[in-house]
Amino acid sequence: MAVDPDDEALSWGDESDPSHAAAPSADAVEADGTASGSLALVAYGIFAGLYLLYTIGWVLASIRNPIPVGGILPVILYQFGEFLAIVSPALWAASVAVFTRHKRPATRVVWLLIGALVLIPWPFIA
């Protein structure tokens, strides 16, 4: 395997010297996981855009549907339900980010996919 001159600059000292630093190998770069990290970043961006669209869908669905009149308590509960529906995509994404912080990126993507299926704004679609 040919040694890149730029990588040679990253190593110094004799191999028996305790201050010796070896140049990074090609195996270390591949083991870093930069390719899977890039795919995860793209997936996070897609889910962020999808959740933003879901939030807009829930806002439009709540604007389109009139509030049922039947007393103060049902109106308050209905509006609270609309509020929870509107913020649910952001809450799901934030909770996935917090609770899967030390997990693999694939686990986080699976949970984001589950949220994308559960949080579909059906009133807006129908």
Q: Mean pLDDT over residues 99-104, rounded?
A: 92
Q: What pTM, to 2 d.p., does this model score?
A: 0.67
The pLDDT of residue 69 is: 75
Sorted by where each begins, the domain ranges of the chain are 36-125
Q: How far is CA 94 from CA 58, 63, 83, 123, in A?
A: 18, 25, 17, 24
Mean per-residue pLDDT, 94-112: 93
Least confident of 22-26, 33-37, 45-49: 22-26
pLDDT at 58: 93
pLDDT in the model for residue 10: 62
Under a CB-based contact definition with an 8 Å cutoff, are residues 119 and 92 in contact? yes
The structure tokens 């090609």 sit at 26
Nearest alpha carbon to residue 95 among 77, 76, 119:
119
DSSP 78: H
Three-class DSSP category at 12: strand
Six-digit token pair at 96?
A: 């996935």
Q: What share of the chain is helix, strand, coil (3-state, %, to 5)?
A: 70, 0, 30
pLDDT at 99 over 90: yes
Higher pLDDT, 24 or 81: 81
Per-residue model confidence as pLDDT tens digits over 59-95? 999 998 887 778 899 889 989 999 999 999 999 999 9
pLDDT value at residue 29: 46
**Whether the Cβ atoms of residue 94 and residue 31 lie closer than 8 Å to each other:** no
Count CB neighbours of 86 within 10 A: 18
Neighbours of 51 (CB within 10 A): 20
